[in-house]
Amino acid sequence: MKYFLSLLNYIESKKHRVNRKSINYKKSLSIAIVYYYESEIKQKFVNKFLNNLKKDNKNIDLYPIIEFTNAENRYLYTFKTKDLNFWGKWKSNNANNLIYQPYDYLIYIDLNLNEEIKNILIRSLAKCRIGFKNEKKLFDLIIKSKNEFDFEYRLDELVKYLKMIK
């Protein structure tokens, strides 16, 4: 299925055209944050990041991807990568909401980039997709940090660069 999904993603990236016009951070209203839920420690860093953005009066939706834990009921927009069917369509309403909601910014805060995440990024209607992986076809803004494996540092750098968008 992984090979077939990469082929579907390639075809989708060629035909899927979205007018991506980034707007000034101060004027932005909606932000989606996508990440893999792995532990409470990581979630605390995400919550700190979320609070930094909420100080700027942004409407922020968290989309944690839950794979092996039973944290589904704690977060409003959880979904699993197994919700993606053979034809590259999502069965999860939360994943479809993420794709079809025209967010001002869609931020993927993890470093691992699998085919399911690529599918979301390719099909997303977000105006600006931000990430840390050097994938120019998937991200409109790529942030590199000196200490990219330090999750907290990476999120602090992300806040700094987000506020610079004019």
Q: Selecting from 3.40.50, 3.30.1240, 1.10.3470, 2.40.50, what CATH number does the domain 2-162 have? A: 3.40.50
Average predicted confidence (pLDDT) for the chain: 89
Give the count of beta carbons closer than 10 Å to the beta carbon of residue 134: 10
pLDDT tens digits, residue range 102-147?
999 999 999 999 999 999 999 999 999 999 988 888 999 999 888 8
Lowest mean pLDDT among 2-11, 65-74, 103-112: 65-74
Please tell me the pTM assigned to this model. Answer: 0.91
Distance (Å) of CA 23 to CA 52, 102, 124, 137, 140? 19, 12, 16, 19, 12
Amino acid, res. 63: Y
Kind of pairing between the strands at 105-108 and 129-131: parallel
Residue boundaries of the structural domains of the chain = 2-162
